[in-house]
Structure 1
């Protein structure tokens, strides 16, 4: 029971901490972007922002959409977490919300990978390919694993619920 409460509270805290990030995008894009680093390019003025390659803008837009998908994934996970407290995981709402959460985590992984690829293409200078081992690929892989895990758990809970209903009908 303590583990269930801890999990629910951590999901709630993560969701609450991520919601202001949407407002952060609205503030950073018009104001804060002029003195920050995007990818490997330092931006110090409005003229430099307007001269950024198109793929950097694609990466920024995909990043914002990915953040929104992550919020939707956490929202559905938060809705499922309500049922964790009473150990009633065989409700149809739990498996449905876990399935939706898994789908949005998978879409988040695809969006994050797309954003990384767009930044890589934008920084490509034509002189050669610079591939390096880094931790940026771990984030989309981890999100995809989490999404697929939630889809699998959703399927298992649906099968368990159907089996329980069938068992309750037999005498």
Structure 2
């Protein structure tokens, strides 16, 4: 029971932090606070942003949409988390929400990879490409694995629910 409560609380905290992150991004965008570093591109003024190539802006847009998709995936997981406390996992809402969360996390992994490739192409076109071993590869891979795991759990719970219904009918 403590593990279920800890999981639910961590999901809630992550959801709140991601909402704060999106509000922070909109605050930076709306008020023109141009002191940021995205994709190894540092910009301190408006002119620095206007000189960036189109691929960079597409990568930023894809990254923002990816963030929104991940937030929605986390929302579906958050909706399921309240059932974790009761150990009532065979509800249709839990199965559906875990499946939706899994699909969105898989799409997030693909979108993150696309964003990284666009930033890589931007660096290549500017001539500042450098090869380094970092966590950029691990993030989309991990998101894809977690998404597939949620899909697997969803399918397993759907099969368990079906078996339970069949068992209840035979008694």
The gaps in structure 1 that reach 5 residues or longer are: none
Alignment of 1:37-52 (within 5 A): 37-52=37-52
Decide whether aligned partners of structure 1 residues 81 and 128 sit closer, same or farther in structure 2, where only a CA change above 3 A counts.
Answer: closer
Whole-angstrom distance in 2 between the partners of 1:101 and 1:160: 19
Decide whether aligned partners of structure 1 residues 66 and 155 sit closer, same or farther in structure 2, where only a CA change above 3 A counts.
Answer: same
Give the corresponding residue for 1:56.
Answer: 56
Give the corresponding residue for 2:112.
Answer: 112
Give the corresponding residue for 2:141.
Answer: 141
* Matched positions, count: 170
Shift of 1:127: 6.3
Whole-angstrom distance in 1 between the partners of 2:72 and 2:92: 19
Give the corresponding residue for 1:88.
Answer: 88
Give the corresponding residue for 2:10.
Answer: 10
Whole-angstrom distance in 1 between the partners of 2:122 and 2:26: 23
My pick for the range that moved more, 85-94 or 124-133, is 124-133
Asked whether the equivalents of residues 35 and 44 of structure 1 are also in contact (C-alpha less than 8 Å), the reply is yes
Q: Give SS of 1:117's match.
A: helix
The gaps in structure 2 that reach 5 residues or longer are: none
Give the corresponding residue for 1:158.
Answer: 158
Asked whether the equivalents of residues 25 and 64 of structure 1 are also in contact (C-alpha less than 8 Å), the reply is no
My pick for the range that moved more, 9-18 or 42-51, is 42-51
Asked whether the equivalents of residues 120 and 129 of structure 2 are also in contact (C-alpha less than 8 Å), the reply is no
Q: TM-score, normalised by structure 1?
A: 0.93
Q: TM-score, normalised by structure 2?
A: 0.93
Q: What's the CA shift string for 1:43-84, capped at 9, x where partnerless?
A: 122122111011110111011101100110110000111111
Give the corresponding residue for 1:28.
Answer: 28
Shift of 1:126: 7.5
Superposition CA RMSD, Å: 1.6
